Amino acid sequence: GAVVSQHPSWVICKSGTSVKIECRSLDFQATTMFWYRQFPKQSLMLMATSNEGSKATYEQGVEKDKFLINHASLTLSTLTVTSAHPEDSSFYICSASPGTATGQYFGPGTRLTVT
Amino acid sequence: GNSVTQMEGPVTLSEEAFLTINCTYTATGYPSLFWYVQYPGEGLQLLLKATKADDKGSNKGFEATYRKETTSFHLEKGSVQVSDSAVYFCALSDSGGGADGLTFGKGTHLIIQP
């Protein structure tokens, strides 16, 4: 149980285009979903927290107009990287939580490469 | 703000050796502490957690004790196996880990040789 999927697992896009990453909780309802970014040999950095039906809360330094997050249902959150640039190339990981005391379940991540 | 510092790897051990991966943290209040493991090609999995001082989390032979006096949460295992080879992340949360984002250490790559 408690499986979280991400799609796609990797994507290559051209500079200036937008790309959408999906995060789904497959066997539970996620009241809260999180998006993290991981650079090579670095820790995961929290980008934003989203609750179903509410606007996402972004961490300091994360551009909300560039990284659009939608949490339209209790099983789906999407991250759209708009007008992507090479510096946006990274590993993006989502997690989902069914409640405050149960912790988070992580997806396998999406590798984004912007050329 | 919150931060987590853990020993950087890679850490290479022989099978059946004793493992310690150090983790210290900085946080306001009383955070919950976690160890996550990431096997090749897979997402992070919760290995163990502790929510208050002196709590000991344990799972699959791994243990870690929440030491408030030293702000530490070191991961230990008495006898490692090749299958333990993975990247281990120490993390903290201001809540039980479900309502707030996690603050992670950089991860420690563990390699167990037969």
Q: What is the pLDDT of residues A31-88, one digit of tens each?
A: 899 999 998 777 899 999 998 888 899 999 999 999 999 988 999 999 999 999 999 9
- CB neighbours (10 Å) of residue B13? 16
Q: What's the pLDDT at B97?
A: 65
Q: What is the mean pLDDT of residues B38-67?
A: 93
Alpha-carbon distance A13 to nearest alpha carbon in chain B (angstroms): 22
Q: Do A100 and B34 touch (CB under 8 A)?
A: no
Helix segments in A33-79, DSSP class H: none
Q: What's the pLDDT at B1?
A: 85
Q: Which two tokens stand for residue A85?
A: 């640039």
Q: What's the pLDDT at A100?
A: 65
pLDDT digits (tens, 9 = 90+) for B68-104: 999 999 999 999 999 999 999 999 998 766 678 899 9
Contact list in B for residue A100 (CB cut-off 8 A) is 95-96, 98-99
> Searching chain B, which residue's CA lies closest to the CA of residue A2?
B45
Distance of CA A54 to the CA centre of its chain: 15
Q: What is the mean pLDDT of residues B58-65?
A: 97
Mutate to test the interface with A, among B32, B44, B47, B94 (most CBs of A within 10 A): B44
Q: Is the pLDDT of residue B59 over 70?
A: yes
* Euclidean distance between CA atoms A61 and A65, whole angstroms: 12
Place of tokens 């006898």: B79
Size of interface A-B (CB pairs under 8 A): 65
* Euclidean distance between CA atoms B64 and B35, whole angstroms: 8
CB of A42 within 8 Å of any CB in chain B? yes
pLDDT band at B5 (very low <50, low <70, confident <90, very high): very high
The two beta strands, A32-38 and B3-6, are unpaired
Alpha-carbon distance B73 to nearest alpha carbon in chain A (angstroms): 17
